[in-house]
Amino acid sequence: MATIPDGFVMPDFGDPAPADNGTTPATATATAATATSTGPRRMAFICSKGNLDMAYPALIVGNAALTEGVEVLIFFTFWGLDMINTQVNDKLKFTVSGNTAMHMPDLAKVRPGLEYKAIPQALGNLPGMTAYATRHMKEEMDKLGVPPVPEFLDLLAASGAHLYACKLSYDMAKMIEADLHPAVEGVITAADFVELAEGAQIVFI
């Protein structure tokens, strides 16, 4: 590897420093002593929700973590199992019901200020409202270059993420192996996951 010139500003790519340096053992020891794990950084996501809007956070942050060289594990449990069920994962829904933060930027065109008004909860229960809200969210995500859930799982798997289904949820939902997204590595128990996630930062969604 060529030597970096003095004063050369370059991004930190997190690659191991060249061993011939010889001036940093004290710092290296101090860092190792304060970290809980000495290996590369790891993140473990627990996805417990099956609504479209709650499916995306782990996929987006997980993908970002992978591009930053962080090892990523995702455990799909309870309603989160729908994210890896090929029968339904392209049909996850977004509902206004129970979401008091739901307001629409587009409504500013109708009347300025309306974009900050929460949509009345009663409207969320009207027939067709969930389908409309879902379609709208999918369109907005598409505009931002965010792929649909099945394609997102493929992207994560190609980037090296490890995906697991929760055995208890799998049994409870009477799911069959044929319906699992092909990128899922296995159906494992909570204890298995805890073991696999050793030293990882846990994100529960």
Partner 1 sequence: MPTNTLNGHTFTVDDEGFFTDPDQWSPELAADMAELIGTELDDAHMAPLEFMRSDAAEHGATPTLRRMHATGGFDIKELYRLYPGKPVKKMAWLAGLPKPTGCV
| Residue numbers at the binding site for partner 1 (CB under 8 A) | 1-2, 4-5, 8-15, 60, 63-64, 67-69, 144-147, 152, 155, 158-160
**Who contacts 158 (Cβ-Cβ below 8 Å, separation ≥6)?**
none
Beta bridge partners of 124: none
Q: Write down the least CB distance from residue 62 to partner 1, Å.
A: 11
Nearer to partner 1, 142 or 198 (CB): 142
Nearer to partner 1, 31 or 159 (CB): 159
Q: Write down the least CB distance from residue 38 to partner 1, Å.
A: 17
Nearer to partner 1, 21 or 67 (CB): 67
Distance CA 90, CA 134 (A): 11
Nearer to partner 1, 64 or 122 (CB): 64
Q: Whose structure tokens read 């409504």?
A: 107
Element (H, E) at 43: strand 42-47
Q: Whose structure tokens read 């409202």?
A: 129
| Inter-residue contact 115 to 103 (CB < 8 Å) | yes
Distance CA 175, CA 158 (A): 24
Q: Write down the least CB distance from residue 128 to partner 1, Å.
A: 29
Q: Write down the least CB distance from residue 9 to partner 1, Å.
A: 4
